[in-house]
Structure 1
């Protein structure tokens, strides 16, 4: 993805609304591109920071954003595990179906 593509995804990232593929590419790009990380920081400040200030809460932007990135990586890992598990379960159902059909012909 290009920087322009990543910048368009920032609002969706902040809303936790990216699919696995986009989230993976987003995280990889942000970790390697200082300009896009800066843009993420700015948009994070505007979206989250302004809300916190309006509520009278203080926060550490750097720590909050790092926590968000860490949580997103964990979420991506969990999502990938669930997708893998669903494929394994689908395969198990197919295998059991085939065994059932074969047994019905034998018996």
Structure 2
């Protein structure tokens, strides 16, 4: 992923609107690119910080961004597990269907 691509995905990331592939690529890029991590931090501070100020709340945006990134990694792991589980379930259903068809035809 290029920095330009990552920059375009920042608002989608902040709105939790990335699919698994995009999220994985984005997180990998941001973890290795200081410039994009800085841009993510700036956009996060502006978006969330302004909301907090409007609400009159106190906040620690640096720790909130770190928590957001950690949570995104956890969500990605869960999503990947669910996709893998669905593939395995489909394989089991197909195997059972094939077995039932074999039994119906030959028994």
Match of 2:77 in 1: 77
> Structure 2 length normalisation: TM-score?
0.98
Q: Deviations over 1:58-89 (max 9, x none)?
A: 11111000000000000000000000000000
In structure 1, stretches of 5+ residues that fail to align are none
1:1-107 to structure 2, matched below 5 A, reads: 1-107=1-107
Give the secondary structure class of the aligned counterpart of 1:54.
Answer: helix
1:106 CA drift (Å): 1.6
Count of residue pairs brought into register by the alignment: 107
> Whole-Å Cα distance in 1 between the matches of residues 68 and 91 of structure 2?
34
Q: Deviations over 1:37-69 (max 9, x none)?
A: 111011101111100110001111110000000
1:105 CA drift (Å): 1.0
1:29 CA drift (Å): 0.5
In structure 2, stretches of 5+ residues that fail to align are none
* 4+ aligned runs moved over 6 Å, structure 1: none
> Structure 1 length normalisation: TM-score?
0.98
